[in-house]
Amino acid sequence: MILPRPVSFTRGDGEISFDGTVHVERVTGPAEGYRLSVTPDGVRVWASDDAGEFYARQTVRQLSGPAAFRSVAPVRVALPVCEVEDHPRFAWRGVMLDVARHFLPKHDLLRYVDLLAVHKLNVLHLHLTDDQGWRFESLKFPRLHEIGGWRPDSRFGDRRSGGMAGRPHGGYYTQDDLREVVAYAALRHITVVPEIDVPGHSQAAIAAYPELGVSGGEVWTDWGINPNVLKADESTVDFYRQVFDEVLDVFPGEVVGLGGDEAEAGDGRFVRRIAQYLRQRGRRPFGWDEVLGVGPLPSRTVIASWRGEDAGLTALERGHDVVMCPEKHVYLDYRQSDHPAEPIPVGTVTTLEDVYRYEPAAADRVLGAQANLWTEHLDSPRRLDYAAFPRLSAFAEVVWSPVARDEAEFLTRLAEHHLPRLDALGVEYRPLDGPRPWQALPGVPGFPR
């Protein structure tokens, strides 16, 4: 009934009446781990660290029933007598949210932090900039968010349809907003990893400061790979050093993203120099797997292996750290089925079961894995819920639970215990048998692969 499944769960006889009192002790044990005992004498937790205690409390909440996930939870619940032993399989249990293609208002971003915490996920990678929008307030270069934060229009569905939505879009987070998100996440043992994408996916910045680009142009209203990239000259590198200074001021985590993906005409020197700068500032650069092609990178650069897992294996050979996120398995914007009513179907079919079956390569050597939510076609929190859940629940189990997985048992546990929790939380997930009528978007063109 617990999700993600713990290392062990032994149910005893009967139930106890629980008023929220938990006796906690610190013990030595695996990082983020805990033991939990529910007996007629009460609820006891032995936790390795603060995170372990936090996860023990998440488990207690799950054992308390779906009502415990409502905004006003019951004061007293029945808990099953049981013993739980638990710790995570991977240290990096991540989700990437693309808040650039479609801005996610701060309130909804905080809600996503809560949803990650429920699933014992611990990294929120925020893709803050792209061709279609710049979402990070810059005090030094305010045109980045003032101009780069807005676009006059967007494609209506897949770009190959040629149609436009006819609606402006935009938004940005102030630095105070992001400090709040970082602090809110930290209370839930989630690290926020920011990403400023260079030297491609930079049209929004170029629209704000045309001298940064190889050619000029507006904030992009199309999807896809924009051939315009940042110039690799000294002044542009220096501009971005100053932008990253502001980013480092807001995000205290060690790992900081510089993107590096899909920059067909990009100059590798640009990425190398930003990576070196981050290292010099005491942080660890984090890039998409294309950055392996730019020449030597600082030691312990973190590589997000997305085009498959081979790049991740190469990165390991070169001594880097690796987060596996192969698009074939964990791109949660990809369509969930061949169902004719699947909304804006893009990418390859990636079912709930496909995500559950994902097993990271070199599992004993990687930092972990993350699921990615690109938002070209997820323009609201409701669309995000539909794409993310329940596949993210399956992913949470892949990165937390012991490797032996029983798909039938998972599906039963999901349907009987976890979907009611998501219902109580107000998550508008995709029902297991297909979209609800109002979740289908007939007439909005996709491009299924």
Show the site string, 374-393: x = touches ligand ACM by CB under 6 A, - = not: --------------------
Question: 226 or 236: whose CB is closer to ligand ACM?
Answer: 226
| Least separation in angstroms between CB 433 and ligand ACM | 29
Question: 261 or 385: whose CB is closer to ligand ACM?
Answer: 261
| Least separation in angstroms between CB 327 and ligand ACM | 6
| Least separation in angstroms between CB 306 and ligand ACM | 5
- Count the Cβ atoms, other than its own, within 10 Å of residue 68: 17
Question: 100 or 247: whose CB is closer to ligand ACM?
Answer: 100
- Pick the binder of ligand ACM from 69, 306, 389, 410 (CB under 6 A): 306
Question: 247 or 311: whose CB is closer to ligand ACM?
Answer: 311
- Count the Cβ atoms, other than its own, within 10 Å of residue 341: 14
| Least separation in angstroms between CB 42 and ligand ACM | 48
Dihedral angle at the C-alpha atoms of 408, 410, 411, 417, nearest 10 degrees?
140
What the block records as the tokens of 100 is 């650039």
Question: 207 or 330: whose CB is closer to ligand ACM?
Answer: 330
| Contact call for residue 83 and ligand ACM (CB under 6 A) | no
Show the site string, 258-287: x = touches ligand ACM by CB under 6 A, - = not: ---xx-------------------------
Q: Which residues are catalytic?
A: 130, 201, 262
Question: 127 or 169: whose CB is closer to ligand ACM?
Answer: 127
Output the 3-class SS for the chain.
CCCCCCCEEEEEEEEEEECCCEEEEECCCCCCCEEEEEECCEEEEEECCHHHHHHHHHHHHHHCCHHHHCCCCCCCEEEEEEEEEECCCCCEEEEEEECCCCCCCHHHHHHHHHHHHHCCCCEEEEECEECCEECECCCCCCHHHHCCCEECCCECCCHHHCCECCCCEECCECHHHHHHHHHHHHHCCCEEEEEEEECCCCHHHHHHCHHHECCCCCCCCCCCCCCCCECCCHHHHHHHHHHHHHHHHHCCCCEEEEECCCCCCCCHHHHHHHHHHHHHCCCEEEEEHHHHHHCCCCCCCEEEECCCCHHHHHHHHCCCEEEECCHHHHECCCCCCCCCCCCCCEECCCCHHHHHHCCCCCCCCCCEEEEEECCCCCCCHHHHHHHHCCHHHHHHHHHHCCCCCCHHHHHHHHHHHHHHHHHHHCCCCCCCCCCCHHHCCCCCCCEEC
Question: 83 or 262: whose CB is closer to ligand ACM?
Answer: 262
| Least separation in angstroms between CB 400 and ligand ACM | 24
| Least separation in angstroms between CB 59 and ligand ACM | 33
Site for ligand ACM in 202-261 (CB under 6 A): 261
Q: Buried b / exposed e across 30-61, counting CB within 10 Å, b at 16+?
A: eebbbbbbbeeeebebbbbbebbbbbbbbbbe
Question: 332 or 352: whose CB is closer to ligand ACM?
Answer: 332
> How many residues sit in the footprint of ligand ACM (CB under 6 A)?
4
Nearest to 294 by CA among 316, 277, 270: 270
| Least separation in angstroms between CB 23 and ligand ACM | 45
- Pick the binder of ligand ACM from 46, 55, 288, 389 (CB under 6 A): 288
Measured from each CB, the residue nearest to ligand ACM is 261
| Least separation in angstroms between CB 43 and ligand ACM | 43
Q: Which residues bind ligand ACM (CB under 6 A)?
A: 261-262, 288, 306
